[in-house]
Every structure is written in C-alpha cells, then in structure tokens.
Amino acid sequence: DELLVRKNYSYLDGMWEKIKKMLEQRKGEITQFQSTLEGIEKDRAQIVQAELQKLVRHLMTMAYKPRSEIERIMEAEAFELNSVLVLNRQTHCELVSLMQKEQVIVEMNA
C-alpha cells in the first residue's frame, strides 16, 4: 500500500491497463485451450470411426463370423468407445469450467 501511495495517477492507470490486458490474454488462452481440446476429441472420434469401419470390412471380407454377429460385436465396441469420448468431453468441460471460474476470481481480486 505504501508503494502505491507514492505513485502518481498515470502510473497506477498504466498498471491497471497492463493488468486488464493480462486478464484478457488469460481469458483468450482459456478459450483457445477449450477449442484445442474440442478439436482433439473431434479428430479422435473420426479416427476411431474410420478404424472401426476398416475392421468391419476386414472381418466381413475374411468371413470371420456371420454379418449380423460382426455388426453386433462392432455395436458393442462402438458403444464403449462413444462412452469414453463422452466422458472425455465431460471432463474437458469440467476442466475449462474450473479454469473460467478461477479466471473470474482473479479478475474480481485484481
């Protein structure tokens, strides 16, 4: 507090502007992080879908089991993978929410 009392208004105003810029930058980085996580999950889902489709074609080509049984097996696998993807997205949303909440607290205390 003593340090601030000795500084003039323009110094304090300049510092406040720097703080506001830093807070905006942090907010932008959180938003970018959220977009990155969403992109990763979207890419992962597309890769998994393509690999499952390849596996189905391969199993049908080699007549591993009847078509209906292969489809039933793949449905179970797809359901499990979708559950993991949903859980990942939920976790990412919770993480970003915590980061945004913390950002609000930092802004309130600035």
CA atoms within 13 A on the CB side of 93: 6
Q: Residue 18's Cα: distance from chain center in Å? A: 28
What percentage of the chain exceeds 70 in pLDDT?
95
Number of domains in the chain: 1
Tens of pLDDT, residues 58-75: 988 888 788 899 989 999
The residue segments making up the domain with residue 6 are 2-109
Check residue 101 and give its pLDDT.
94
Listed in sequence order, the residues at least 6 apart from 21 whose beta carbon sits closer than 8 Å to its beta carbon are none
pTM above 0.75, yes or no: no
Summarize pLDDT for 69-107 with one digit per residue, the tens. 998 999 999 999 999 999 999 999 999 999 999 999 998
For the chain, what is the mean pLDDT? Answer: 90
Which band of pLDDT confidence, cut at 50, 70 and 90, is reported for residue 3? low
Helix (H) / strand (E) containing 31 = helix 9-61
pLDDT for position 67: 87
Is the model's pLDDT at 4 over the cut of 80?
Answer: no
